[in-house]
Structure 1
Amino acid sequence: MIPNPDFLSGLNPQQKQAVTAPPGHILVLAGPGSGKTRVLTHRIAYLITQYHLPPSNILAVTFTNKAARVMESRLEDLLGEKPQGIWLGTFHAICARILRREAENLPFSSNFVIYDEDDQQSLVKTALRELNIDEKMFKPASIRSVISTAKNNMQTPDDLTSRNYREEVNLRVYRRYQELLRVNNALDFDDLLNEVVNLLTQNQAVRDRYSRRFGEILVDEFQDTNTAQYQILRSLAVGNASMFVVGDEDQSIYRWRGADYRNVQSFERDFPDCQKILLEQNYRSTQTVLDAARAIIDHNINRTPKRLFSDNGKGEAITLFESADDKLEADYVADTIRQNLKAKKWKGSQVAVMYRTNAQSRLLEEAFLRANLPYRLVGAQRFYGRREVKDIIAYLRLIYNPSDEVSLTRVINVPPRGIGDKTVTTLQQRAHEMNISAGEVLADLGKLGQQSAHFASFSGRSALSLADFGSNLNTWREASSKGMPLTRLFFQILEDTAYQEYIDDTTEEGHQRWENVLELGKIAAEFEDRGLDEFLERLALVSDQDTLAEDVEAPTLLTLHAAKGLEFPIVFITGLDDGLLPHSRSLDDPEEMAEERRLLYVGITRAKDRVYLTRADRRSTYGGYDNSAPSRFLKDIPAKLLLQQGAVSSSRGGFSSSYSSPRERRTESYANWTTPSPTYGSFKPTPRQAKPAVEQRFPANCRVKHEVWGEGLVVKSVLEDGDETVDVFFDTVGFKRLAASLAKLEIIKK
């Protein structure tokens, strides 16, 4: 390899100390924007070039596919070529790779499929149905969450006991859910980790082989590891492996899914000889942004204090905007962005609007529509969650693993081929009687037709339909096993199923759906040389951030949790009210409250140049408004860092006296405004005027069509403020509340 000879010259002293440290256990606590990815990639390059460590002896673990791709690209730049043999990927991807290699030591075969949340919920529903448990009383989503929590704690059904009837039902469903995973030769995300823990714990030969192989283990975002992930790392480090972990307790925000920042403390306890290095120079933000963030996080305990500093200058003050209600808060955000875009001070892609809960996006979306602003919404329906995309993926998964009954159930009658629910139930019962999978029954029907021993179990028409479908599956599987290129297999499925005709691409909605199918085909082409197994694994492990387009010139709307790992020149954080941020669930739990502080800290430190914090004196509820109090976190930000704008209701009086401000606060109600005031900076709200009465055009229960979201059912329609507000449940994206005058809805069925 021909390394860049100057690849250490651009590092600051703390970074260079971390990169060039002798092999051993090293804990790097990296503040936000301090170049942790740079340190990790340079560390790998240093080990390869200076210690001559073969890349195949290096394991580098990240938390997102995007981070893995960035590291791969930077390593290639540093070394002059790709380091061959290095294991670099997410925890789940690395674990899947180990499990496929070690399948002979496991109770499932190497062609297992990975179930996403939708698949897991489908399996929970199957378990409920088989156990004759009412879905209305025991919600599948709730039970799936209970199962995931148990797995995060590494608890099997045998580890749990039930104290009441609900817990007994949860336990019964959990047990059957696990049995169905085995029947389907499938694993869920939690299983990928737990099965590797079990493998390394129970099979010393396997553990020794991997611990000898990986002489250096590097871990990104160490503060986000959960119990299983930390146990995997400890198992691999039992030999002579060195561990180089990079993290920041202050950025641990995934406690709700099992992440435990205390693993940082456990690392220091388990490896007392570890070297501890702090990265404190920030390359992203202005000093004002960092000082505001530090003022909030310094109130947390059980952390290593860091002195964050930046050479990017002091920067502009943090803007704090208080509005009379949440609608005007959203209008302020949209209008501020619109005016700066119009003046060409900002570009749309430079702006992010963040919030604590997904539900807060509705008012923001409506405000953006009123302002005629485009936006991209992270955490809405993902590309891989679209119906037509999941259909084709299900076909491919079924070819790869015929035991996958979740995929089979999804596509057995898509497009319609005369196979109804009763026939599917009979098929599953027949498979159960024969102690084989439904896929094997189909394969036999497809091969032998009327000569199959299973044929008589079905009515004549249903049996023929099943045999025809089974024949197609057999043909596709044989073609795949003989090395048919992935893209050719992809389009063969589309042709054999007449999928294009099924979605009717002559309509606008159908055309958009067909374009999504073709886009999936483009992604398949990228895996032409790697095969169906790698393609399906990559799709199963993709995250919201991995699908976030980087070339869209529009502001980004996303939750604070989704913002982790991203950065933007301008950041708006909305809903700074007690009960929202911090969330109401955290008010009586010190650990949860500490996490809420970390969440706001992460949000603020996403910003390079400007931060806008907004709140509302009252927030809309069902049929009215509730008063809200300012977030308790706001009083921690020094007044000298704030530029305060906006008006709050005089009946509420705004902040307590501890909230001093460099500018005089107006206390008049928004409802009394008649002219814009310079006190409000660039935001110039339009005076409220009486609007003419309108007629209801979209009554409840009528079907409507939207040019972007397709068809939906009107749930409620209300006439208010001179317009018709319509609640619609769309087939593609779920619930939306729209202003009828802006939404361009078309009635398609009364």
Structure 2
Amino acid sequence: MLAEDVHTPRGIACITYNNECARELEDRLAALGVEQDRRIFIGTVHSFSLTQIILPYAQTAGLGLPASFAVATRAERQAALAEALGRAEIPQGLEFRLGIYRRTYLNRELPEWRNSDPDLAALIERYEASLRRRGRIDYDDMPLLAIRALRANPWLQRALLAKFPILVVDEYQDLGAALHRMVMGLCFSVGMRLFAVGDVDQSIYGFTGARPDLLQRLSERDDVETVRLRLNYRSGDRIVAAAGVALGADRNYEAADADAEGAIFIHPMEGNYDQQARRALQDLLAQARARHPDFSLRDLAVLYPAAWIGDSLAAAAQALGIAYVRTDTNALYPRSSRIMQWLEACAQWCCGGWRIGAPRLSRIIREGKRLFDKAIITEESELNFHRRLVAVLWGNRDANTILRDWLTQMTKEVVQSFAIDDAALRDELDILAEFSERLAPGADHQNMVLGELAGDGVYVDRLTLSTLHSAKGREFGIVFMFGMDNGRIPRNGASNNERAEARRLFYVGMTRAKREIHLLHTTGRESIFVTEIDQHLADE
């Protein structure tokens, strides 16, 4: 599209689900020789709303924001909510409920906004007013304000079309009503060309407001050309067939490689999760590796319904001396953190990346400038940032460097110098401070080395421990689905919609596997989805 359809200075906007997806898209484009620049936007719907609509046009679009507004930190959000409530104590789960309500009722001029839950609507309005008095917006404000600006200003829609004649959307089923409203306005009213990719069967974020029906309705429009994909290029044929049973719908999917059968195992497990975890890693994982000597630890993953279950697996792995990496909410740091993603790239450069240009130093510098954009505003500050960063990276090209020492130097020479008074980075700096505490002398990760942050060399060879949600989009040679118990998936008391989403989540877990899928459940408590797979195997 860049080569044939869009000519300089116009470009393409690509919106995807989260920062990790955006980063992978950037990496794949870079491998094709396409570097992100002003012509190409790659990011989340929130990032698109903030950087392409709110920041450039807030004043002229009449959004009622002060000239010096900023994104609220968690502490500022909680202070605003406490003021709106009239008390310091915030009930558990209230912030989540507020977010769902705001994302569900986008047009506040309609009666549904106030009538569906008058008390909640009033609380949200007081909370937002409190934020504005502080000169702040929050995460959910970004797409809401962007939609308001687009609806009220037709000239703004034309301005975006002039800049981005094509809009690319990945994981459409997960991006919710706000993105869908933008697509309807920009692509079907103004004329921006849409290229969307998604799968309603992999919609697993209903609790955040994801709407798989929006993608379904989009695909059924007469003015949309829909291409349905049937071939699974990852999993063996038996895994594809069993996953269809788990999904509860025949999509006529086939394995692209007809010779790759795949294998499915069901393991009833005695004891509590601690005992099951030890048996799974000590016996089942070892047996699977013996069957597939070509697979290393990094080709294996254990997936589970909730992060707390991962604690049992992490303890068992540590006791057995199995190297592992967690990608759930109990990981060392949030995988979505911008500053930690940038530090990972810096570590990778230090651990051999400087030899092969992966990642490129130019990309690390560019991402750093984007991260610290409030401080890097002149040629002098840009040169200062460049010099400081390169000095630290070049002086620490050893994967065995104690991570605490490297991070202390990076923080002192680079981060603290360029993150001063940047309110948008306060939450990020809190994440960095919490991570640093885990590396302090006497802490649980005091001996961690630079290569572990980079995932370099021997540190790449680690077993992945992940929730089913966090595993979406990834693939492994062998997958163990742990804790597949009734009451865990689906959970007890689940509504019909929640049961349907649990079924899709189970399907997502099964389709992460290439060669083997193992379903582990407590004896006598297997999930209904496991029972269905067991019956399918018996019939087969």
Q: Give the counterpart of 1:107 among 64, 86, 90.
A: 64
Q: Give the counterpart of 1:143 among 85, 94, 108.
A: 94
Q: Measured at CA, do residues 386 and 558 of structure 1 come closer, stay the same or move farther in structure 2, by a change above 3 Å?
A: closer
Q: Measured at CA, do residues 573 and 112 of structure 1 come closer, stay the same or move farther in structure 2, by a change above 3 Å?
A: farther
Aligned to 1:89: 43
Aligned residue runs from structure 1 range 657-672, under 5 A: 660=538
Q: Give the counterpart of 2:279 among 332, 335, 346.
A: 332
Aligned to 2:449: none
Q: Give the counterpart of 2:499 among 578, 593, 614.
A: 593
1:291 aligned onto 2:241: yes
Aligned-partner SS, 2:525: coil
The AA in structure 2 aligned to 1:570 is I
Distance of 1:205 and 1:548 partners within structure 2 = 46
Aligned-partner SS, 2:2: helix
1:270-320 Cα offsets, whole Å, 9 max, x none, are x422111112222222112211111111348xxxx3423221623342111
Aligned-partner SS, 1:262: helix
Aligned to 1:610: 516
When the two structures are superposed, what TM-score results if normalisation uses the length of structure 2? Answer: 0.73
Q: Contact 1:352–1:571 (CA<8 Å) still a contact in 2?
A: yes
1:129-170 Cα offsets, whole Å, 9 max, x none, are 6754262xx52x422112111111135899755899xx74x5
Aligned to 2:174: 224
Q: Measured at CA, do residues 55 and 64 of structure 1 come closer, stay the same or move farther in structure 2, by a change above 3 Å?
A: farther
Aligned to 1:277: 227
Aligned-partner SS, 2:461: coil
Q: Measured at CA, do residues 348 and 278 of structure 1 come closer, stay the same or move farther in structure 2, by a change above 3 Å?
A: same
The AA in structure 2 aligned to 1:326 is N
- Structure 1 residue 373: Cα displacement: 2.0
Q: Measured at CA, do residues 340 and 602 of structure 1 come closer, stay the same or move farther in structure 2, by a change above 3 Å?
A: closer
The AA in structure 2 aligned to 1:69 is R
Aligned residue runs from structure 1 range 212-361, under 5 A: 212-237=162-187, 238-269=189-220, 271-299=221-249, 305-311=251-257, 313-327=259-273, 328-335=275-282, 336-338=284-286, 346-361=295-310
Q: Measured at CA, do residues 523 and 286 of structure 1 come closer, stay the same or move farther in structure 2, by a change above 3 Å?
A: farther
Cα RMSD after superposing both structures = 4.2
Distance of 2:203 and 2:411 partners within structure 1 = 34
Aligned to 2:353: none
- Structure 1 residue 173: Cα displacement: 4.5
Q: Give the counterpart of 1:369 among 298, 318, 321.
A: 318
- Structure 1 residue 380: Cα displacement: 1.7
Aligned to 1:507: none
Distance of 1:324 and 1:565 partners within structure 2 = 31
- Structure 1 residue 211: Cα displacement: 3.0
Aligned residue runs from structure 1 range 52-71, under 5 A: 53-54=7-8, 56-71=10-25
Distance of 1:195 and 1:277 partners within structure 2 = 33
- Structure 1 residue 74: Cα displacement: 3.5
Q: Contact 1:283–1:310 (CA<8 Å) still a contact in 2?
A: yes
Q: Measured at CA, do residues 91 and 531 of structure 1 come closer, stay the same or move farther in structure 2, by a change above 3 Å?
A: farther
Aligned residue runs from structure 1 range 193-592, under 5 A: 193-237=143-187, 238-269=189-220, 271-299=221-249, 305-311=251-257, 313-327=259-273, 328-335=275-282, 336-338=284-286, 346-378=295-327, 379-383=329-333, 485=381, 515-519=406-410, 536=425, 550-551=455-456, 552-586=460-494, 589-592=495-498
Q: Measured at CA, do residues 82 and 90 of structure 1 come closer, stay the same or move farther in structure 2, by a change above 3 Å?
A: closer
Q: Measured at CA, do residues 260 and 629 of structure 1 come closer, stay the same or move farther in structure 2, by a change above 3 Å?
A: same
Aligned to 2:124: 174
1:189 aligned onto 2:97: no
1:663-698 Cα offsets, whole Å, 9 max, x none, are xxxxxxxxxxxxxxxxxxxxxxxxxxxxxxxxxxxx
Q: Measured at CA, do residues 81 and 566 of structure 1 come closer, stay the same or move farther in structure 2, by a change above 3 Å?
A: closer
Distance of 1:309 and 1:94 partners within structure 2 = 36
Aligned-partner SS, 1:189: coil
Q: Contact 2:11–2:163 (CA<8 Å) still a contact in 1?
A: yes
Q: Give the counterpart of 2:82 among 97, 110, 128.
A: 128
The AA in structure 2 aligned to 1:613 is L
Aligned to 2:443: none
The AA in structure 1 aligned to 2:147 is V
Aligned-partner SS, 1:87: strand
Q: Percent identity?
A: 24
- Structure 1 residue 564: Cα displacement: 0.9
Q: Contact 1:639–1:661 (CA<8 Å) still a contact in 2?
A: yes
Q: Measured at CA, do residues 64 and 386 of structure 1 come closer, stay the same or move farther in structure 2, by a change above 3 Å?
A: closer
- Structure 1 residue 244: Cα displacement: 1.3
1:74 aligned onto 2:28: yes
The AA in structure 1 aligned to 2:228 is L
Aligned to 2:532: 636
1:364-404 Cα offsets, whole Å, 9 max, x none, are 223223323232222225536999x89xx9xxxxxxxxxxx
- Structure 1 residue 338: Cα displacement: 4.8
- Structure 1 residue 480: Cα displacement: 6.5
Distance of 1:548 and 1:584 partners within structure 2 = 38
Distance of 1:533 and 1:75 partners within structure 2 = 30
The AA in structure 1 aligned to 2:191 is N
More helix by share: 2
Q: Measured at CA, do residues 160 and 81 of structure 1 come closer, stay the same or move farther in structure 2, by a change above 3 Å?
A: closer
Q: Contact 1:100–1:111 (CA<8 Å) still a contact in 2?
A: no
The AA in structure 2 aligned to 1:592 is E
Distance of 1:49 and 1:490 partners within structure 2 = 32
Q: Measured at CA, do residues 222 and 334 of structure 1 come closer, stay the same or move farther in structure 2, by a change above 3 Å?
A: same
- Structure 1 residue 107: Cα displacement: 2.2
- Structure 1 residue 191: Cα displacement: 1.0
When the two structures are superposed, what TM-score results if normalisation uses the length of structure 1? Answer: 0.54
Aligned-partner SS, 1:318: strand
1:625-676 Cα offsets, whole Å, 9 max, x none, are xxx53211123226574xxxxxxxxxxxxxxxxxx499xxxxxxxxxxxxxx
Aligned-partner SS, 2:223: coil
Q: Measured at CA, do residues 83 and 234 of structure 1 come closer, stay the same or move farther in structure 2, by a change above 3 Å?
A: same
Q: Contact 1:349–1:556 (CA<8 Å) still a contact in 2?
A: yes
Q: Measured at CA, do residues 331 and 180 of structure 1 come closer, stay the same or move farther in structure 2, by a change above 3 Å?
A: same
Unaligned 5+ segments in structure 2 are 344-371, 389-401, 432-451
Q: Contact 2:80–2:131 (CA<8 Å) still a contact in 1?
A: no
Q: Contact 1:92–1:193 (CA<8 Å) still a contact in 2?
A: yes
More strand by share: 1
Distance of 1:218 and 1:531 partners within structure 2 = 35
Q: Measured at CA, do residues 373 and 326 of structure 1 come closer, stay the same or move farther in structure 2, by a change above 3 Å?
A: same
Q: Contact 2:486–2:527 (CA<8 Å) still a contact in 1?
A: yes
1:520-569 Cα offsets, whole Å, 9 max, x none, are 578859x99x99989959969x9xxxx99654321111110111111111
Aligned to 1:729: none
